[in-house]
Amino acid sequence: MIELLEQCVRIPSLSRQEAQVAAFLRDEMQQRGFNHAFIDDAGNAVGILGDGPKQIVMLGHMDTVGGDVPVRYEDGKLFGRGSVDAKGPLCAFILAAQQFTTRNAPMGDWQIIVIGATEEEAASSKGARFAATQYAPAFCIIGEPSGMDGITLGYKGRLLVQARFEQSMRHTAMPGPSVSEQTVDLWNFVKHLSDNFNAGKPKAFDQLMPSLRHIQSGGDGLKEWCDLVIAARLPEGFGPDRLEKEIRAWAAETARQQPPVADAPSLPSSLQSLSFSSAERAFRSSKDSSLARAFVDAIRAEKLRPAFKHKTGTADFNVVGPVWNCPIVAYGPGDSSLDHTPNEHVSIDEFEKAVKVLTHVLTTLTKT
């Protein structure tokens, strides 16, 4: 079973560069007996089994972050970019759907839809947003690493903040803050905001978690500038609109306190641009759904102890969950702490057991 994943991992597929791997997955699903396999208008690789009115959508993503991780086998593990995040779960979906239909044809009222989505790592989630408009599943399984015994029930929200500070050059002996100092002030404000919000909240899933992703300064002899990017992971009850409102209020107060820029009186502040993107709200599903119970039973059938998880990252789970409003979990082989790392790899044994768990789940769900 690992050969499908190996071939998939060997195909580079950075976000917005997924065409080659999409064609590969489409062809593989055609050869593995899917009724329909095609590439949709968002570039997603889609395979459909059965033609019943009730849908089970298995949505993974086929794009990866950058970084060359040489593909190799070592100590019972497959190394390579995407082996965990998230070609491993996606290939497990394809194999489980294939095995299920081989053992359970005909499928009656059910239709299984496997989707390899585009641009999840680009934070645009182009593929998932398009898929959300095309299907109406009774159950949804998101392909993300949870470990073969893990069932993910929730992901935090997200907001990216981009800011640029700029002002006329002046001698360093002159009074007043540099643009770099003012940029640090913005970061300190967000950090202070999160520290206050997180007081008394020991669980990471409940915390506001900002991360300083980029800061760079420079100048041309006439002007100095500093750029900043903050990525914030947001808990339930603290949506992206709230964080944006807090930062805009800080910017307005900062502008009020600063004197006008000498060569641009219309600009009351050195904050030249402030923008927000990739906004997603936190989303959590119930552990009491029939889907979650099916995973518990399937994991126990493999002599493993099921564990419910809530992730501090963000996934296509956040995109389709509120739209489809059906039982949803994320599942897939692999250790999520290896996501995006130079050491990304998945255990072959874990991958094969995850396929068995997924096959068991499909069997259970289609009996309902």
What does the pLDDT read at residue 167? 87
Q: Which residues pair with 47 in a beta bridge?
A: 37, 114
pLDDT in tens, 180-223: 999 999 999 999 999 999 999 999 999 999 999 999 999 998 89
Residue carrying structure tokens 């060569």: 263
Residue 174, SS3? coil
pLDDT-derived band at 61 (thresholds 50, 70, 90) equals very high
Q: Does residue 128 have a cis bond before it (omega within 30 degrees)?
A: no
Q: Is the pLDDT of residue 311 over 80?
A: yes
- CB half-sphere exposure, 235, CA atoms < 13 A: 13
Alpha-carbon distance of 101 to 71, in angstroms, equals 31
Task: List, for residues 228-255, the tens digit of each pLDDT value.
Answer: 999 999 999 999 999 999 999 999 888 8
**Which of the residues are catalytic?**
63, 120
Cα gap 330→309, rounded to integer Å: 9
For the stretch 321-355, pLDDT in tens is 999 999 999 999 999 999 999 999 999 999 999 99
What is the rounded average pLDDT for all residues in the chain?
Answer: 94
158: alpha, beta or left? (left if phi > 0; alpha if psi -120 to 50): beta
Q: How far is CA 227 from CA 19, 170, 263, in A?
A: 33, 19, 21
How many Cα neighbours within 13 Å face the side chain of 348? 13
Name the pTM for this structure: 0.93
Backbone φ, ψ for residue 191 (5° rounding): -65, -40
Instruction: Report strand pairing: 150-155 vs 54-61.
Output: unpaired
HSE-up (13 A, CA, CB side) for residue 300: 6
pLDDT for res 252 = 87
**Which pLDDT does position 11 carry in this prediction?**
98
Report pLDDT for 46. 98
Strands in 103-254 per DSSP E: 110-117, 139-143, 150-155, 157-168, 209-219, 223-234
pLDDT score of 173: 65
Average pLDDT over residues 5-17: 98
pLDDT over 90 at 260, yes or no: no
Query: For the chain, how many helices (H) and strands (E)?
Result: 9, 16
